[in-house]
């Protein structure tokens, strides 16, 4: 009746109810694959300087690290890898393994006895503290700890490993030689393999603790930096389940599973994994022992904080706030200022969703600097800059602040934040209507190499900043009418960020906006109308605005007016000045198109005042253009000279040209005031991605 | 019965007798079948099934000599394998499985073949357990596999395809499949096994473990035999469908199995699951009398004794079991409970750990150990223990609830919401989870949700009778005086109607609030009744007296109760009419106004 759970094993290491996953500190143990690697190392040491050319040796050395850290691979794969870098060594390794596997147990025993020789002598082949030396010593230690039966088990495993490696070549050669009986046996085996294979397809075998840790950290960093290179969500989950089946105490796997679930927006599983992780973390880690109550309480605080982060990511702001309150309370009780600091940043992120809370943010930055948390500090500065930009602060102050935070980044080599900072600058320049500067910043980011050591081979990461910069680039090109170039950029975006990845929404919105603009310019209103739904799904305010524009173009003036008024009130409430001005311009256009340009004038003047106040030059010039147009409608004879001055500084060049050439009664719309920028670079969401929080 | 001599024809051995009918009219036939299957399973080393059948057979009246069945005749094949079988069975009985398998190799008879495969399976299992201690590294532990399983599966699936497996063979095939985590295939095979050999309880039991919900049960095509009734009753208990299970067991008792200790114990467990403690206790006591050396299910019994804090009985039980067999999981569990009741939590935890050493899959002990660590304020160890319990069985609501409690103690009300919610999902009609949820929401100042929880807790039948008071207090906080008064009235009615002897702390609060409420509504009669009630309690006596004086004053001033004032709620007539401050009112008077 006992409900059977295979992974649960009796653990004799349980003391005081706490299972210590790693009582002996065994992080690694000997497997047949490791023996093969040891043989390779041994061979490398044996062959003198002359035997292997310099190039080959270099290639071998490069090969070694992944071999030492990576998961176990089959013998034939290993041969192939060695062969690629040094054929002759591959041959000798093959012979040695063959001798060992086909010989006797004592060959293996002898091999391990001889291993320690490489440390001895006046000029040892291997340094004790080098990577290889550590590996060798680990292996020797692990081997000497094996019990009698385990040694034999290891040897049979080695034979098995060797035979599996050989099987392929044998199969080709003497298929016909096998007797009937053997053939039958083989059939049985095959049948067995086929039926079992489906379940075991992902079970590449157990990973040792070291290998598992390596796997987890690798995948986690890929998830953060370049999602497309990581395993697909399904296969990653499979690997993790596998890992957890072999060792249910391996808490970190739960965290990765949480991250993985976040990727596919699965709120239930991710909550489950997150809480499971913290339940486990509280107990296993050795630090909880050394730090005593302290380490334990610490993980509790971060547990609550992470829960808040989770809810925030799924848009459950109320729950997030409750969780955050809890984290703050516990952190306060135990005087953990660092944790409090993190909480404060999150408090800002949450507060941002409703009203401006720059006081909070300023405080956060000050505190973060005080406690020496450069990451949080500069993230705070960037958020602050973003907010100030929306609030209409002058550019020089903002750029000064960004420069200061850049200093901080370079000092601590926070490459992620450098990227964000540049993307931020791009956005700010675009907000102010300086397309050249924006272009320059975007190009700078794109032609920069990654600083992170983790993927030294990779030029760049696929982070959010890159997506933002590329989107800006596409929109900038589209604004100047280079639609071909824009679509080229978008194509690149699609390749780099496949549709189901985290940041795909950014380019999707951008793509649809450009298509919409194009359709409007071409006068294909039905096409534009069909795009509105897509835009609304990604950004509701933008969607409503575009809807109004389409309605206006289709001469459904009253509906458009109603929609615009609503939008205006909403945007004034949430202080989205950029949108307010755009809406005002649309309203004005609506007025002068319905032949009442006099009413349009005050609206336009209001828009002008606003855009001047917030220094939104692009919108300002558009407003002036509109103003001129409205006046043209009123007094057709006195064509205002203003447009010419605009011409000199405006990017809306083509529009004013059109204005000059077209008559006021011409039916072609010369393009609607277009919302200039989307400066919403995402430092908010970057706080959310703050890596520190996961690992208290 | 007339057909009994020809029951076992040579061609199809045992088939007629084993394909049993679905009605219980012929108990003698059933008894015969039970005896037969007990013998068959014993011969094959299936000890637990044998034990079950024998127990059940024992509960039926004995057969006269004339009706006793001759042992099934020996076939040609059996005769051939007789020597090998006898030798191997002897080896099997002393647990030398490999040796048994060696001598059975090549035997053709069904019985010998089964024993051959079964000893190979058991040998693999035994080696697996030995390996676990001796594995190479921590990560490999979970990976130790029964190496024999794959081979067994291949061989058995061949036989299965050739339709050469009998009921026992199918059972073994199913077990192998289940061990390989091929649940779907295993279920199919077990269903087939029950069709071929419905009397074998082991196959039914395995099926029980594989079925996770009611829907799955619906889609199984099970043979129509009397064994099915036992199976259904058992699985209803497992799936927490207690009402249905009790119904089934009652039917079985009515049919004539009233002496079966198995059924009695199952009924007791069912009552335990729905927390009908008194009934469960009396049944267990009865069971102990019938079968004093029984150890199975005694852990449940000890839980009940624990809940009722019956120290002496628990102590007696613990000592008794310890005498019978100290190294049984149940014994350790009972002793653990005993120490826990005596507040010696370290020792209790030690015994639960011992139980886990004896059987790591015994999930009850993980949860109980969690409780002990909670008592010792070792929250981290408690969390660990609960997590283990959940890993063994995700549907263990007590472990989820325990986790919730732990985090609540750590003052993380929001964090523990998740755990309580999980527990609530598993037991939607358990008021304790709902009250816990409500308390958390209250701490988080989410009063609307809290109100919902309390109301629901009351609606599903509150065990601790606290939901209404809490709800009333919430309403009080929100200055929803009418609702608050209503809740207090309901609370008082509840208490009076069930005639509890236990002193309820909140009773005085309720009366005080009601007195003040009626006073505000200017319903002098009701107010004075409640105020008089208040005088019966120490903490509210003075207030009650003061209120009475005020009322008297106002009345003397000639102020009549204002009729315009809406007074939606009145105390039940019996209460308000009753001027003498007796506390207990007969429940009948109140029942008419109970909402």
Exposure string for B394-427, b = 16+ CB within 10 A, e = fewer: ebbbbbbbbbbbbbbebebbbbbbbbbebbbebb
Name every residue whose Cβ is closer than 8 Å to that of residue B397 and which is 6 or more positions away in sequence.
Answer: B422, B423, B426, B427, B430, B433
Task: Please state the rounded mean pLDDT for residues A512-539.
Answer: 89
Q: A519 and A525 in contact (C-beta within 8 Å)?
A: yes
Closest alpha carbon within chain B to A10: B360
Among the partner-chain residues A7, A26, A303, the one whose CB lies closest to the CB of B137 is A26
pLDDT over 50 at B427, yes or no: yes
Quick one: pLDDT at residue A4?
A: 28
pLDDT over 90 at A674, yes or no: no
Q: A75 and A36 in contact (C-beta within 8 Å)?
A: yes
> Would you call B136 and A153 a contact, using CB atoms and an 8 Å cutoff?
yes
SS3 state of residue A357: coil
Residues of A in contact with B151 (CB under 8 A): 192
Which of B270, B300, B268, B299 has the alpha carbon at shortest distance from B284?
A: B268
Which one has a higher pLDDT value, B82 or A691?
B82
> What's the pLDDT tens digit per position in A298-316?
778 888 888 888 888 888 8
Structure tokens at A46: 């044996």
Q: B581 and B532 in contact (C-beta within 8 Å)?
A: yes
- Residue B16's alpha-carbon distances to B29, B33, B167, in angstroms, are 12, 10, 14
Task: Please state the rounded mean pLDDT for residues A450-473.
Answer: 70
> Would you call B361 and A307 a contact, using CB atoms and an 8 Å cutoff?
no
Mean pLDDT of chain B: 80
Helix (H) or strand (E) holding A18: strand A18-19
Quick one: pLDDT at residue A200?
A: 37
Q: A258 and A270 in contact (C-beta within 8 Å)?
A: yes
Quick one: pLDDT at residue B575?
A: 43
> Would you call B381 and A283 a contact, using CB atoms and an 8 Å cutoff?
yes
Distance from the B90 Cα atom to the nearest Cα atom in chain A, whole angstroms: 27
> Would you call A279 and B384 a contact, using CB atoms and an 8 Å cutoff?
yes
At A14, give phi and psi (nearest 5°).
-80, 120
Quick one: pLDDT at residue B316?
A: 92
Number of inter-chain CB pairs under 8 A, A vs B: 150
Q: How many CA atoms lie within 13 A of B563 on its CB side?
A: 0
> Would you call B391 and A5 a contact, using CB atoms and an 8 Å cutoff?
yes
> What's the pLDDT tens digit per position in B89-143?
999 999 899 999 999 888 888 889 999 999 999 998 888 777 766 555 444 444 5
> Would you call A282 and B380 a contact, using CB atoms and an 8 Å cutoff?
yes
Residues of B in contact with A149 (CB under 8 A): 134
> Would you call B414 and A279 a contact, using CB atoms and an 8 Å cutoff?
no
Task: Please state the rounded mean pLDDT for residues B334-359.
Answer: 89
> Which segment of A434-438, B439-443, B485-489, B501-505 scores lowest on mean pLDDT?
B501-505
pLDDT over 90 at B464, yes or no: no
pLDDT over 80 at B504, yes or no: no
Which of A473, A447, A450 has the alpha carbon at shortest distance from A463?
A: A450
> Which segment of A677-681, B168-172, B278-282, B503-507 scores lowest on mean pLDDT?
A677-681
What's the farthest any 2 CA atoms get from each other in chain A? 107
**Rounded-to-integer distance, Cα A252 and Cα A273, Å:** 10
Which of B496, B485, B466, B502 has the alpha carbon at shortest distance from B591?
A: B496
Residues of A in contact with B132 (CB under 8 A): 9-10
How open is the CA angle A384-A389-A391, to the nearest 5 degrees?
A: 95
Structure tokens at A258: 């949480």
Helix (H) or strand (E) holding A19: strand A18-19
**Bridge partners for A14 per DSSP:** A19
Which one has a higher pLDDT value, B17 or B376?
B376
How open is the CA angle B417-B418-B422, to the nearest 5 degrees?
A: 115
Quick one: pLDDT at residue A341?
A: 82
**Bridge partners for A696 per DSSP:** none
> Which segment of A689-693, B336-340, B490-494 scores lowest on mean pLDDT?
A689-693
> What's the pLDDT tens digit per position in A16-28?
333 334 434 456 6
Quick one: pLDDT at residue A147?
A: 78
Where does residue B298 rank: exposed (0-12), middle (13-18), buried (19+ CB within 10 A)?
buried
Q: pTM of the predicted model, to two decimals?
A: 0.72
> Which segment of A2-11, A163-172, A536-545 scores lowest on mean pLDDT?
A2-11
Which one has a higher pLDDT value, A445 or A200?
A445
Sign of the dihedral through C-alpha A118, A121, A126, A129: positive
Where helices occur in A334-482 by DSSP H, the ranges are 337-352, 358-370, 374-390, 395-412, 415-431, 435-446, 464-479
pLDDT over 60 at A42, yes or no: yes
Distance from the B18 Cα atom to the nearest Cα atom in chain A, whole angstroms: 24
> Which segment of A29-38, B6-15, B458-467 scores lowest on mean pLDDT?
B6-15
Quick one: pLDDT at residue B505?
A: 66
pLDDT over 90 at A185, yes or no: no
> Which segment of A399-413, A647-661, B189-203, B402-416 scores lowest on mean pLDDT?
A647-661
> Which segment of A237-241, B177-181, B525-529, B562-566 scores lowest on mean pLDDT?
B562-566
Rounded percentage of chain B residues whose pLDDT exceeds 70 = 86
SS3 state of residue A15: strand
Q: Model confidence at B591, in pLDDT bands (50, 70, 90)?
A: very low
Q: A625 and A655 in contact (C-beta within 8 Å)?
A: yes
Helix (H) or strand (E) holding B161: helix B148-161
- Look-up: residue for tokens 């203003």? A642
> Would you call B410 and A9 a contact, using CB atoms and an 8 Å cutoff?
no
Exposure string for B226-243, b = 16+ CB within 10 A, e = fewer: bbbbbbbbbbbbbbebbe
- Look-up: residue for tokens 């989410």? B446
- Name the packing angle between helices A540-553 and A557-574 (round to 10°): 150
Among the partner-chain residues B363, B383, B414, the one whose CB lies closest to the CB of A3 is B363
Where helices occur in B342-446 by DSSP H, the ranges are 345-358, 363-375, 379-392, 397-409, 413-426, 431-443
DSSP state of A448: P
Quick one: pLDDT at residue B99?
A: 92
Closest alpha carbon within chain A to B387: A279
- The CA R_g of chain A, rounded to the nearest whole Å, is 33
Please give the sequence-ordered ranges of beta strands (E in DSSP) within A503-629, or none if there are none: none
**Rounded-to-integer distance, Cα B122 and Cα A120, Å:** 50
Measure CA A635 to chain center: 56
pLDDT over 70 at A371, yes or no: yes
Quick one: pLDDT at residue B560?
A: 52
pLDDT over 50 at B1, yes or no: no
**Rounded-to-integer distance, Cα A489 and Cα A472, Å:** 10
Among the partner-chain residues A5, A154, A326, the one whose CB lies closest to the CB of B415 is A326
Per-residue HEC secondary structure of A418-444 comes to HHHHHHHHHHHHHHCCCHHHHHHHHHH
> Would you call B136 and A10 a contact, using CB atoms and an 8 Å cutoff?
no
pLDDT over 80 at A284, yes or no: no
> Would you call B360 and A9 a contact, using CB atoms and an 8 Å cutoff?
yes
**Rounded-to-integer distance, Cα A500 and Cα B567, Å:** 62
Which of A109, A104, A86 has the alpha carbon at shortest distance from A40?
A: A86
Q: A468 and A427 in contact (C-beta within 8 Å)?
A: yes
> What's the pLDDT tens digit per position in A595-642?
777 888 888 888 888 888 888 888 888 888 888 888 877 765 455 445
Distance from the A112 Cα atom to the nearest Cα atom in chain B, whole angstroms: 17
Among the partner-chain residues A4, A150, A329, the one whose CB lies closest to the CB of B134 is A150
Neighbours of A157 (CB within 10 A): 16
Q: B95 and B121 in contact (C-beta within 8 Å)?
A: no
> What's the pLDDT tens digit per position in B49-65?
999 999 988 888 888 87
**Rounded-to-integer distance, Cα B230 and Cα B305, Å:** 28
Among the partner-chain residues A1, A8, A250, the one whose CB lies closest to the CB of B205 is A1
Structure tokens at A549: 């524009």
> Which segment of A40-54, B241-255, B307-321, B341-355 scores lowest on mean pLDDT?
A40-54
Task: Please state the rounded mean pLDDT for residues B163-179.
Answer: 89
SS3 state of residue A14: strand
Closest alpha carbon within chain A to B444: A322
Q: Model confidence at A415, in pLDDT bands (50, 70, 90)?
A: confident
Q: B386 and B399 in contact (C-beta within 8 Å)?
A: yes
Sign of the dihedral through C-alpha B134, B139, B144, B150: negative
Which one has a higher pLDDT value, B261 or A184?
B261
> Would you call A247 and B412 a contact, using CB atoms and an 8 Å cutoff?
no
Name every residue whose Cβ is closer than 8 Å to that of residue B443 and which is 6 or more positions away in sequence.
Answer: B413
- Residue A39's alpha-carbon distances to A36, A44, A75, A524, in angstroms, are 5, 8, 12, 71
Q: Model confidence at B572, in pLDDT bands (50, 70, 90)?
A: very low
Residues of B in contact with A282 (CB under 8 A): 380, 383-384
């Amino acid at each position: 009746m006992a409900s059977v759970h295979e992974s649960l094993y009796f653990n004799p290491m349980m003391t005081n109810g706490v299972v210590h996953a790693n009582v002996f500190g065994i992080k690694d143990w000997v497997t047949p694959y490791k023996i093969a690697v040891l043989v390779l190392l041994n061979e490398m040491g044996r062959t003198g300087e002359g035997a292997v050319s310099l190039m080959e040796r270099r290639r071998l050395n490069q090969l070694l690290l992944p071999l030492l850290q990576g998961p176990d691979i089959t013998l034939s794969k290993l041969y192939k890898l060695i062969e690629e870098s040094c054929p002759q060594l591959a041959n000798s390794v093959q012979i040695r393994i063959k001798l060992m596997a086909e010989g006797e147990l004592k060959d293996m025993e002898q091999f391990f006895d001889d291993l320690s020789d490489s440390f001895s002598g006046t000029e040892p082949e291997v340094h004790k503290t080098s990577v290889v030396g550590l590996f060798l010593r680990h292996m020797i230690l692990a081997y000497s700890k094996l019990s009698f039966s385990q040694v034999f088990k290891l040897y049979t495993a080695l034979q098995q490993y060797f035979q599996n490696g050989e099987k392929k070549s044998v199969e080709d050669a003497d298929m016909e030689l096998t007797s009937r009986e053997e053939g039958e046996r083989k059939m049985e085996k095959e049948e067995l393999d086929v039926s079992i294979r489906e379940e075991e397809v992902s079970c590449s075998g157990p990973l040792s603790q070291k290998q598992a840790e390596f796997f987890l950290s690798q995948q986690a960093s890929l998830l953060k930096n370049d999602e497309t290179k990581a395993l697909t969500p399904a296969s990653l989950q499979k690997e993790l389940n596998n890992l957890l089946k072999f060792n249910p105490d391996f808490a970190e796997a739960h965290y990765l599973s949480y991250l993985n679930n976040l990727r596919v927006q699965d709120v239930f599983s991710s909550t489950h994994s997150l809480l499971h992780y913290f339940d486990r973390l509280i107990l296993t880690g050795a630090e909880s022992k050394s730090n005593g109550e302290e380490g334990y309480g610490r993980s509790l605080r971060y547990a609550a904080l992470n829960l808040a982060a989770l809810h925030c990511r799924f848009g459950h702001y109320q729950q997030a706030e409750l969780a955050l309150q809890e984290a703050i309370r516990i952190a306060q009780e135990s005087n953990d200022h660092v944790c409090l600091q993190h909480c404060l940043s999150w408090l800002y992120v949450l507060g941002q969703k409703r009203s401006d809370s720059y006081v909070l943010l300023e405080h956060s930055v000050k505190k973060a600097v005080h406690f020496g948390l450069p990451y949080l500090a500069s993230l705070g500065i960037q958020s602050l800059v973003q907010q100030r930009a929306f609030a209409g602060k002058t550019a020089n102050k903002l750029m000064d602040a960004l420069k200061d935070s850049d200093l901080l980044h370079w000092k601590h080599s926070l490459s992620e934040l450098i990227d964000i900072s540049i993307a931020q600058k791009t956005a700010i320049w675009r907000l102010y209507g300086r397309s050249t500067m924006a272009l320059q910043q975007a190009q700078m980011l794109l032609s920069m190499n990654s600083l992170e050591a983790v993927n030294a081979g990779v030029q760049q990461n696929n982070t959010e900043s890159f997506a933002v910069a590329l989107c800006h680039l596409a929109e900038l090109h589209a604004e100047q009418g280079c639609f071909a170039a824009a679509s080229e950029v978008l194509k690149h975006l699609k390749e780099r960020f496949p549709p189901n990845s985290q940041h795909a929404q950014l380019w999707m919105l951008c793509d649809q906006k450009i298509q919409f603009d194009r359709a409007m310019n071409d006068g294909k209103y039905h096409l534009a109308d069909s795009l509105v739904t897509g835009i609304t799904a990604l950004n509701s305010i933008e969607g409503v605005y575009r809807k109004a524009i389409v309605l206006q173009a289709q001469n459904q003036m009253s509906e458009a007016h109603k929609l615009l008024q609503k939008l205006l009130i909403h945007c004034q409430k949430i202080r989205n000045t950029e949108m307010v001005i755009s809406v005002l311009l649309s309203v004005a256009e609506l007025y002068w198109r319905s032949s009442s340009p006099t009413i349009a004038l005050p609206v336009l003047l209001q828009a002008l005042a606003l855009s001047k106040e917030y220094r939104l030059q692009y919108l300002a010039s558009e407003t002036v253009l509109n103003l001129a147009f409205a006046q043209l409608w009123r007094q057709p004879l006195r064509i205002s000279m203003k447009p010419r001055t605009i011409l000199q500084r405006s990017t809306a060049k083509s529009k004013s040209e059109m204005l000059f050439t077209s008559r006021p009664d011409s039916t072609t719309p010369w393009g609607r005031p277009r919302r200039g920028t989307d400066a919403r670079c995402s430092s908010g969401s970057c706080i959310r991605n703050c890596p520190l929080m996961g690992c208290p | 019965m007339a057909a009994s001599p020809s029951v076992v024809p040579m061609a199809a051995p045992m088939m007629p007798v084993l394909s049993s009918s679905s009605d219980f009219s012929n108990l003698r036939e059933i008894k015969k079948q039970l005896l037969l299957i007990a013998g068959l399973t014993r011969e094959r080393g299936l000890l637990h099934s044998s034990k079950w059948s024998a127990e059940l057979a024992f509960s039926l009246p004995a057969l006269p000599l004339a009706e006793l069945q001759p042992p099934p005749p020996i076939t040609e094949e059996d005769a051939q394998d007789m020597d090998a079988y006898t030798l191997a069975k002897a080896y099997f009985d002393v647990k030398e499985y490999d040796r048994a398998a060696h001598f059975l190799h090549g035997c053709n008879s069904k019985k010998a073949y089964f024993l051959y495969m079964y000893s190979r399976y058991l040998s693999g299992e035994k080696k697996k357990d030995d390996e676990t201690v001796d594995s190479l590294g921590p990560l490999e532990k979970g990976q130790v596999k029964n190496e024999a399983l794959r081979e067994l599966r291949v061989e058995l699936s061949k036989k299965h395809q050739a339709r050469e497996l009998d009921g026992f063979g199918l059972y073994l095939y199913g077990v192998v499949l289940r061990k390989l985590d091929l649940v779907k295939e295993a279920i199919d095979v077990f269903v087939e096994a029950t069709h071929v050999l419905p009397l074998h309880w082991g196959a039914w039991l395995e099926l029980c473990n594989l079925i996770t919900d009611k829907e799955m049960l619906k889609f199984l095509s099970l043979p129509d035999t009397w064994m099915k009734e036992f199976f259904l009753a058992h699985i209803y208990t497992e799936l927490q469908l207690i009402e249905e299970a009790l119904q089934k067991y009652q039917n079985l008792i009515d049919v004539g199995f009233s002496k079966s200790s198995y059924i009695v114990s199952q009924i007791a467990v069912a009552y335990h699951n729905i927390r009908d403690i008194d009934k469960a206790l009396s049944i267990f006591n009865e069971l102990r009398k019938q079968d004093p050396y029984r150890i199975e299910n005694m852990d449940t019994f000890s839980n009940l004794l624990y809940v009722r804090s019956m120290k002496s009985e628990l102590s007696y039980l613990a000592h008794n079991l310890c005498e019978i067999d100290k190294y049984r999981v149940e014994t350790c569990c009972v002793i653990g409970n005993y120490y826990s009741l005596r507040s010696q939590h370290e020792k209790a935890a030690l015994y639960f750990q011992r139980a886990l050493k004896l059987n790591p899959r015994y999930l009850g002990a993980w949860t109980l150990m969690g409780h002990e660590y909670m008592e010792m304020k070792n929250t981290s160890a408690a969390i660990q223990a609960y997590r283990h319990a959940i890993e063994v069985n995700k549907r263990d609501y007590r472990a989820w609830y325990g986790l919730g409690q732990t985090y609540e103690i750590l003052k993380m009300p929001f964090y523990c919401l998740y755990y309580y919610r999980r527990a609530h999902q598993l037991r939607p009609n358990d008021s304790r989870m709902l009250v816990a949820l409500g308390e958390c929401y209250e701490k988080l100042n989410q009063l609307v949700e809290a109100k919902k929880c309390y109301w629901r807790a009351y609606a599903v039948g509150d065990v601790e009778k606290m939901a209404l008071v809490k709800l009333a207090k919430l309403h009080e906080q929100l200055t929803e005086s009418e609702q608050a008064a209503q809740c207090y009235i309901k609370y008082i009615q509840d208490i009076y109607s069930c005639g509890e002897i236990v002193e309820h702390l909140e009773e005085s609060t309720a009366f005080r609030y009601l007195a003040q409420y009626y006073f505000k509504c200017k319903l002098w009669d009701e107010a004075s009744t409640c105020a008089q009630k208040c005088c019966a309690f120490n903490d509210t006596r003075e207030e009650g007296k003061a209120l009475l004086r005020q009322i008297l004053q106002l009345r003397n001033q000639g102020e009549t109760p204002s009729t315009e004032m809406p007074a939606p709620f009145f105390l039940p007539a019996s209460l308000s009419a009753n001027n003498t401050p007796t506390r207990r009112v007969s429940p009948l008077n109140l029942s008419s106004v109970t909402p």
